[in-house]
Amino acid sequence: MPRYMWLYVNKPYLSKKSGDGMDIDDLEPRKGKPQLKNLEPMGLDELREYIARLEDEITRTQIEIDRKEKHRQGLDGLFKA
């Protein structure tokens, strides 16, 4: 058994998604502000594709925000009643 598997098997509080224990992501340092992409070498088509990918990511993020807001509103309704 690889060492990292032994670690997770024998120390369940270190597992990625152990319900009761600590989440390993909490131990990892937060990432700083992402570096800006160098747009200078990109051609017009590449820049348009890049914008399209960014717009897709914005849409995906907005959908997740809406989903979480609806969930929160549902929980707020439960606790205010």
Q: In this structure, are residues 49 and 59 in contact, taking their beta carbons and an 8 Å threshold?
A: no
Q: Are residues 45 and 10 in the same domain?
A: no
Domain limits for position 17 = 1-27
Per the structure, the count of domains in the chain is: 2
d(CA 54, CA 3): 39
pTM here is 0.54
d(CA 27, CA 25): 5
In a domain, residue 35? The reply is no
Q: Are residues 19 and 48 in the same domain?
A: no
Q: pLDDT (tens digit, 9 = 90+) per residue, 15-70?
A: 455 555 566 666 777 778 888 999 999 999 999 999 999 999 999 999 999 999 99
Q: Are residues 81 and 46 in the same domain?
A: yes
